[in-house]
Structure 1
Amino acid sequence: MLIDLSYWEKESFLNYDVIIIGSGIVGLNAAIHLKKSVPSLKIMILERGLFPAGASTKNAGFACFGSISELIVQEETCGPEQLASLIERRWKGLLKLRNLLGDKTIDYQCLGGYELFKQEHHFLADTCVSKIEHYNYLINDIIGSNAFSISNNKIKAFGFESIETLIENRYEAQIDSGKMMFALIQYAQQLGISIFNNFTVDCIEEESNGSRLITKNGNFFCKRLIVTTNAFIKDLYPDIDINPGRGQVLITKPIKDLKIAGTFHYDKGYYYFRNIKNRILLGGGRNLNFKAEETTAFGQTEPVQSALEQLLKEVILPTTKYEIDYRWSGIMAFGKTLEPLIEEIKPNIFCATRCNGMGVAIGAQTGEDVANLLLKSL
């Protein structure tokens, strides 16, 4: 506990109606919805990092709801009706985010999304092509007509080599994740929501009238608590049924006359890339060793980085000179079920986690959902 605290500090800085742990997409949207619903609530967000840690500022900025190969796997898990419900949740979540901040603010660009298939993956490609009509019908009333189509005529235009099949999703878009998160933080602060950075919650002590959060920089009390730290929730509640998943990313230096435009998925979505200001941002490779990437430790591994560089050299930029500028990683959370985990895990303690790699799409809706769950308890 901090020493020599004044009366004013104890009264004004340590006690809240609601504390949210985690200032990512979910946590900020939860705080914003709570404050707009009940302006009198005193709300504070505690964030372990200088910037939002996890994946919110480290993702690729895909405004997507799933490539066909991903949807096939998901449908096998949950069935067509539940999959349609999940896609609707993702689409409405994107609309909510866009309506809250504005397309210009987050640099929303609907340039289309593409799934690539090499010749040796012809069986998967044929399976996905055969499912185009099925998924167009499934999402017609949710998103719009004829979302998916074959676009092999664009393979040469993008400069790809060894790619035989290209499936386009004309409703997929991209955003600037940094601009989005900066705008969300500003929005929350303008509403009067406090955000304290570089505060790691070491433990939570449950009391009769609320929760006390123990940190190395001071202890905070709140009547109600929301934990939105995604995979890092296991540091506080180890029994939560989720697994972390690290996503490794690299980015090139600017490339003159870069032909690639849009968002791209490869190998069942385990690899993904896009053009950002004439750079290639490329991430993925978690499927090379799921166990090794099932970690909350940031960093890179040689096998994944080699696979990314090979894909960059042989498929994405086979005839173009480039230099890799730098690399980073983000931490996602996955579970056996595809829906996010939103529930009251203990009296007046709520959680919103397990975005399953779809945080951009479902973060805003997930934050609002956990806020509404808390509002019912007021």
Structure 2
Amino acid sequence: MNLSYWEIKCWLSNVDYTIIGSGIVGLNCALYLKNRFPKAKILILEKGTLPQGASTKNAGFACFGSLSEIIEDLQHHSKKEVLELVNKRINGLQLLRENLGDKTINYQNLGGYELFVDLDTELYESCLGKQEEVNKLLQPIFNKDVFSFVENKFSFNSIKPKYSLNQFEGEIDTGKMMEALLLKVQSLGIKILNNTAVESLSEISNTVKIKTNQFEFSSHKLLIATNGFAKQLNISGVKPARAQVLITKPIDGLHIKGTFHLDRGYYYFRNIDNRILLGGGRNLDFITEETSDFGETEIIQNKLEELLKTTILPNTDFEIDHRWSGIMGVGKQKKAIVKQLSNNVFCGVRLGGMGVAIGSLVGKELADLL
């Protein structure tokens, strides 16, 4: 790219902090850096036309874990660790709401439900039996019982007659959230360069030399907030996980309200603008879905449509309007990786599918590393 003197002078000279990734983490990191260092020159590099990964592609669940997920976490983590995970998600959601406002992101607390398929009696019985134990564990955070079992009031088919209700779960409008974050960041004079992919990094003395697909420049500090694409920048402990999604055309009289989890959270759906948004299914083919390539596969899309027909909308005609996918960052541990990688390079990645819940907090923690 043949840059002019003006472009080099205004955008790429004397850069204090460069952030890779303009998703939830990257934008929040920029906000907190600007708050701490108001005179600093901050530049965000984004390889997509819009934020890539999952920040503009998620389902908009303001959640912190279904009953079965927390029970499973207790099998692999201590009670203290599980409490810390839940607490971080709650604090992250609160931070998101305080930063942007409930009205701006269309936050609604309509409850979250976990459905259990008819054939999975073992999981159903486990959740029934351990509900009291989990409620007792979470009591110090919420001061109330979080989970209860309620009747199938939305007329879903082929599931157990009762499902688990999380009374504290909410939902947001993902597009409005990201639009507001971008506007807030840009209003502070923080620059975002889209369609700019980082190809290599090198440290020289107290600077980081950054080579992109468009140009090369130097920055005093570099902060990596690419989550699902972290592996491409040689960050260990995190791998990509693709999530496929579809949405129906508007459905008259759609009475379903709230957020819904099914089959240990591998499927999730909600009503947005009188449409059903349904995603998940990577458990059908983990190996294929461990990719940073966007796209859809027949096996998963067919399963999503089958769930709509047989379980979610068994007596309702619908049409599919749109399909897409997002890339998450996952790993063996559920705790996000927020650490210093070298003298001048830092990262905040591996959000484990909880970007809406913890993205704001991880962005703050990343900025606080400096």
Give the TM-score taking structure 2 as reference length. Answer: 0.97
2:98 aligned partner, one-letter code: N
Q: Distance in 1 between matches of 2:203 and 2:9?
A: 20
1:316-371: CA deviations, max 9, x gaps?
Answer: 00000000101000000111111000111111100000000101000000000010
Paired positions, count: 368
Answering whether residue 155 of structure 2 is matched by residue 159 of structure 1, we say yes
CA contact (8 A) 2:260 2:269 kept: yes
**SS in structure 2 opposite 1:151?**
strand
Letter in 2 for 1:193: I
1:173 maps to which residue? 170
Aligned mates of 1:113, 1:85 — CA distance in 2:
21
Code of the aligned partner of 1:196: L
Aligned-pair CA distance for 1:93: 0.2
> CA offset at residue 9 of structure 1?
2.9
| Superposition map of 1:187-226 within 5 A | 187-226=184-223
Per-residue deviation, 1:4: 5.4
Q: How does 1:124-163 map to 2 (within 5 A)?
A: 124-152=123-151, 155=152, 157-163=153-159
Q: Deviations over 1:149-193 (max 9, x none)?
A: 0012xx1x3121122131100100000010000001111111221
Question: SS at the partner of 2:268?
Answer: strand
User: Structure 1 pair 144/51, CA: closer, same or farther in 2 (3 Å)?
Assistant: farther
RMSD, aligned α-carbons: 1.1
Mapped partners of 2:290, 2:8: distance in 1:
40
Quick one: which of 260, 267, 271 aligns to 1:264?
260
- Structure 1 residue runs of 4+, over 3 Å off? none
2:357 aligned with 1:361: yes
Residues 159 and 260, structure 1, Cα contact 8 Å, conserved in 2 = no
Task: For residue 118 of structure 1, give the secondary structure of its aligned residue in structure 2.
Answer: coil
Instruction: Provide the rounded CA distance (Å) in 2 between the counterparts of 1:36 and 1:236.
Output: 27
* Aligned partner letter, 1:119: D
Counterpart in the other structure of 1:114: 113
Aligned to 1:33: 32
**Residue 104 of structure 1: aligned partner:** 103
TM-score normalized with structure 1 length: 0.95
Cα contact 1:159–1:259 (8 A) shared by 2:
no
Corresponding residue to 2:281 among 277, 285, 292: 285
Shift of 1:143: 2.8
Amino acid at match of 1:13: W
Superposed, 1:82-101 pairs within 5 Å as 82-101=81-100
Q: Deviations over 1:121-151 (max 9, x none)?
A: 1210110111211121122221341111001
Residue in structure 2 matched with residue 275 of structure 1 by the alignment: 271
The verdict on how the C-alpha distance between 1:39 and 1:131 changes in structure 2, with shifts beyond 3 A counting, is same
Aligned partners of 2:3, 2:259: CA distance in 1, in Å? 53
Q: Could you tell me how far 1:11 is from its partner in structure 2?
A: 2.5
Conserved? CA contact 2:64–2:357, under 8 Å: yes
| Structure 1: gaps of 5 or more residues | none
In terms of mean alpha carbon deviation, does 11-20 or 135-144 score higher?
135-144
Q: Equivalent residue for 1:227?
A: 224
CA separation in 2, counterparts of 1:121 and 1:218?
A: 54
- Do 1:86 and 1:339's aligned partners in 2 also have CA atoms closer than 8 Å? yes
Choose the corresponding residue for 2:316, options 298, 306, 320.
320
Report sequence identity in percent. Answer: 50
